[in-house]
Each structure stands twice: as C-alpha cells, then as structure tokens.
Structure 1
C-alpha cells in the first residue's frame, strides 16, 4: 500500500461509526487491521518514521490481544521526510483501537 492509499484508508476508518451496529464494528476492525498491517510493512521498508522509537508497532497487537482496549498507548507516524503531516495509531482507554490524523491540539 502506498502512503496516499494509506491516508485514504485512515480517512475511511474515521468515517465509520463502530458503535452503530455489529457490522459497523466489524468493518472498523477489519479496516484498522488492514491499516496496521500496511504500517508494519512500511515500517520494515523504512517508508515511515515512528515515534516513540523504544517500542515497535507490534506492541499495539500485544495490547489488543493481552490487555484489551483498557490500556492506552499511541504511536505517532509520518511518511519519511514529510514530518509536517502526522498521524497517530494506538489503543484507547475504554475504546477501540484508533488511527487518525494528529490534530494540532493533541
């Protein structure tokens, strides 16, 4: 997946209401995992830069599997050399995993 497509998928994810129905929640989770897998691949090919550096993206999968969404942890990522447009992916407290543009007030 290229970065432009990734950005489109992130936008699509953020227009799904996962609480509207079970189908909405399933669609949200499928799309989240598609984005997550693409980011893992991009990370391995060094297409993206990620902060914080001390943990890999794989940590999010461990949180979802072992701790559930009660634990909060996020990574900020951006396309290499395009640091002015950042996104975050993570596991929210008492919520679904997230992937969204980083707003200026975050």
Structure 2
C-alpha cells in the first residue's frame, strides 16, 4: 500500500498495489476525481457495456476493515485496476481527476 496525495492536497488515498498495477474502490475513485460514487458507477457500467475494457480482467473482490462503533468489521468491496481507473477518469471532466490519473 502507498498513500497518494491529490495535487490540490485536499485528499489522501490509500492505494493498493498488486500484480504490477494499482487498485482502487469506487469510493476511492470518487475521492480522487472529486465526484459522487453514483457517477463512478455509471461510468464503469458504460465502459463495461461498451466493451472498452474487460470487467473480469479489471476487477477483483477484496475486503476493507471498517470501524462500526467500538468494533472493527471486514466488509466486502470490489476494487478496480488502473485500466478501469483511467477509463473512468477521462470522461469525468474534472481538472483534479485528470491530474490525478496521470500521477498514479
């Protein structure tokens, strides 16, 4: 894992590195591109439906530890590799997002 700081210094994102690529959840992509998770989900749906990238090759099921009250709980989460991150990042017209993709 590495910590990625956005160019504007507003957000720090913990980035998973595995199999020579980076992996982010939809929540992390929303933070990176400064948009909603709904927006990320919509763009992912479109790139997979259009066959721009292969969902099986660009996603992986993982888990995250969340603090719920006093206890820590493992929750399943789908993560996306750099190909998916770039495919989502370019359609999002965010100056912050475009800079973020280039620096991951």
- What TM-score results when the alignment is normalised by the length of structure 2? 0.30
- Report which structure shows greater RCO (CA 8 Å, sep ≥6): 2
- What TM-score results when the alignment is normalised by the length of structure 1? 0.29
